[in-house]
Amino acid sequence: MSVPSPFSANKGLKKPVCVFCGSSPGKLKLYTIASESVGQALANESIPLVYGGGRRGIMGVVSQASLQSGGYVHGIIPRALTERASEHTPAPGTNGESSLSRASDVNGNGASQEGTGETILTDESGGRFTTDIVGSMHERKMKMAKLSQGGFIVLPGGFGTFEEVLEMITWNQLGIHRLPILILNIGNFYAHLKLQFVKAVEAGFISAANLSLCQVVNLAGGDDESLNSDESRAGEWGQAAIQALKDWQFAEDTGYGIDWELKEKRAGGDESVLNAKSANATSTLSSGISRTVSSLRRPEALFTTLRYTSPSLHESTIPIERSSIPLLDYHVLRLREAHAHFRERDSSEVWGEWMGDQRLWELLKDALEAKEKEVRGDWRVRVVLHPGSKLEVQVVPAPRDAGPSSLATPEKQQTPTTATATARRPLILDPIVTDLSQKDSDELDLRLYKTTDRGMYDTAYARGGALLPPDVHPEVLLHTSSLVLETTTSNIAVLPPLSSSTSTASTTGHNQKHNPETTRKWLTPRLTRRGTTPQERGEEGATASASAYFLNGAMRRYFLDNDIIQETDLTVDELRQMWSDGGRIIGFNGLR
């Protein structure tokens, strides 16, 4: 579903993104700062902006910000909302004969008079701002949707904004399109809308799976929604939107699966479409599940997240000792493993040679010492490895609920974790089963190695989080049809209750009785390694249902190496039973 693009084809632009937003500025400066950030971010990413053409309010802010940053903007304006203006820039390729020009005999060159507040948008754009005049609000929305093949970003707005985004979500559900729909929760403006979606699930009007047809986006780097109202961080919303676009991924079994294009062509008697679809299906089936390297989704970067706490809050500690960073060797190991895997899969030309453990430490040390000289604190440190073995170190404050960092070995019946968090999080079982049957898919690589492509985790978190009030931040537990995997942020371990009579898989076999008095130990789901399952060995009748692919975190490795936790084939039913009997369930990662 598309229409001819108003954007020049020789500018190297990406797919246009539509922004739905208010024609009024709202009462908080936060809204305008955040919207300006979104406009700038789209321009910086060479993503053209499609919007309702307004020159005031949030519409004016986001469009003007994009233009001032060198971006391309196309506005679509209903004729009834126009007024005379001094200049019109026709869309490229139209020779000035856009619908706007054709309407000029009646209305003159059209500019939107929609909204309240001062006029923000100017015509000084060097030809990068184009407009169309359409006959109705319905035509406006239809054209915006057809042009915006990159998806939709939703900023604060009123009834018109609500109506627009809800229809686009419905189109996702019906299969009219399958595009990212990102609702930016600026100032927690959309927290109650998210809660309404949850209530519709509870009432049986929306399936839990279809909650992933859109995403309510909070600021990156924090689960705490209070960050959304922090005006000092309003400039981060643009990057949060871009990252959410990159990470977007539909959950399985969403929508109604209707092929509208096929049905329309079938209604028109186009049998060639049916033959093409059938031939394509046959080709897909005959090719099995093997894929070429070029068809695999290459991650933008690999990363690991660790914790560093300044030894003193009063004076800098220079030089930083390697031993002062918990689990550093484990973090380096997992990053090295990921690099080796993707280098072999995608070629050395893409990922380059491994820089060496010592060089990685030197770059990390330099970044931490620069931060230590500036200010002391408790830091979340993200070590990011880009293609070409280019390293980036991101140092931001650790979450407030992470608790103090410690690697003390837990005593019996204590929680094996690096920190005692200030608040426990509720554990929610993902309402959607994680299907691991496509064992050779690129998604499997993204589950086994930590990459910046986190869409599947964000989508699962949104599904689980939608089942709770907006101010409650859960851990959402992923699982196959039978086995427990991980949460969207952590590995897990379970301590069976002393009184448990649960039949659970042992570390050496399946369905063996645990003796709680002799085997009372923290249990963690067993990780499936490549080439170790009956299915992967090609054994007859084998399926992927007994496979468990997930991230092997640095803390998990440490606990296993020190015999603090023990691997087991933990089923969902066994977990439920132990939980019901009073067992303890904890999550842990390199941060907490």
What CATH number does residue 30 fall under?
Answer: 3.40.50.450
172 Ramachandran zone, left/alpha/beta (phi>0; psi -120 to 50): alpha
111 located within any domain: no
Q: Which two tokens stand for residue 251?
A: 């959950």
| Whole-number Å distance between alpha carbons of 79 and 109 | 11
Q: Nearest CA to 59 among 157, 136, 143, 133?
A: 157
Indicate the pLDDT class of residue 274, thresholds 50, 70 and 90.
very low
Collapsed DSSP state (helix, strand, coil) of residue 12: coil
CA distance 546 to 532: 11
pLDDT digit string (tens) for 304-357? 999 888 887 777 788 889 988 989 999 999 999 999 999 998 888 889 999 999
Structure tokens at 108: 């003159």
Structure token pair of residue 155: 């900023």
Cα–Cα distance between 142 and 136 in angstroms, integer?
A: 10
DSSP E strands: which ranges in 406-505?
427-429, 475-479, 484-487, 491-495, 503-504
- Crossing angle (nearest 10°) for helices 29-44 and 57-68: 40
3-state secondary structure of 356: coil
Which pLDDT belongs to residue 154? Answer: 97
Among 247, 269, 292, where does a domain finish? 247
Same domain for 243 and 331, yes or no, is no
3-state secondary structure at position 52: coil
The predicted pLDDT at position 291 comes to: 37
Look up residue 7 and give its amino acid: F
Q: Is residue 162 part of a domain?
A: yes
Q: Which of helix, strand or coil describes residue 119?
A: strand
Output the average pLDDT for the chain.
77
Among 383, 385, 387, which residue's Cα sits nearest to residue 348? 387
The span from the CA of 3 to the CA of 184, in Å, is 27
- State the average pLDDT over residues 524-531: 78
Question: Residue 216, Cα to own-chain centre: how many angstroms?
Answer: 10
Helix (H) or strand (E) holding 391: strand 390-397
The answer on 349 and 233 residing in a single domain is no
**Same domain (yes/no): 377, 229:** no
**pLDDT tens by residue, 106-136:** 233 455 555 555 555 665 667 788 888 888 8
410 lies in some domain: no
- CA–CA distance, 195 with 189 (Å, rounded to integer): 12
Q: Is 267 contained in some domain?
A: no
Cα–Cα distance for residue pair 524/512, rounded to 1 Å: 16
- Structural domain boundaries, residue 355: 325-399+456-496
Distance of CA 256 to the CA centre of its chain: 23
Which of 470, 496, 522 is where one domain is finished? 496
According to the model, what pLDDT value does residue 298 have? 78
C-alpha angle with apex 248: 245 to 250, nearest 5 degrees? 150
Residue range 409-434, pLDDT digits in tens:
344 434 444 444 445 788 889 988 88
Q: How many domains does the chain have?
A: 2
Q: In this structure, are strands 152-154 and 17-20 parallel, antiparallel, or unpaired?
A: parallel
Q: Is there a single domain that holds both residue 57 and residue 202?
A: yes
How far apart are the C-alpha atoms of 340 and 352, rounded to whole Å? 10
- Tokens standing for 114? 């929609």
132 domain residue, yes or no: yes
pLDDT in tens, 181-210: 999 999 999 999 999 998 998 888 988 888
Report residue 577 CA to chain centroid gap.
Answer: 32
**And the tokens for 40?**
């700038």
- Mean pLDDT value of segment 137-153: 90
Please provide the distance, in angstroms rounded to a whole number, between the alpha carbons at the two ends of the chain: 46
Residue 494 burial (C-beta neighbours within 10 Å; 0-12, 13-18, 19+): buried
CA–CA distance, 462 with 430 (Å, rounded to integer): 10
> One-letter amino acid identity for 413?
Q
Q: Once rounded to an integer, what is the mean pLDDT over residues 280-297?
A: 38
Tell me the mean pLDDT in the region 562-568.
92
- Which of 213, 247, 281 delimits the end of a domain? 247
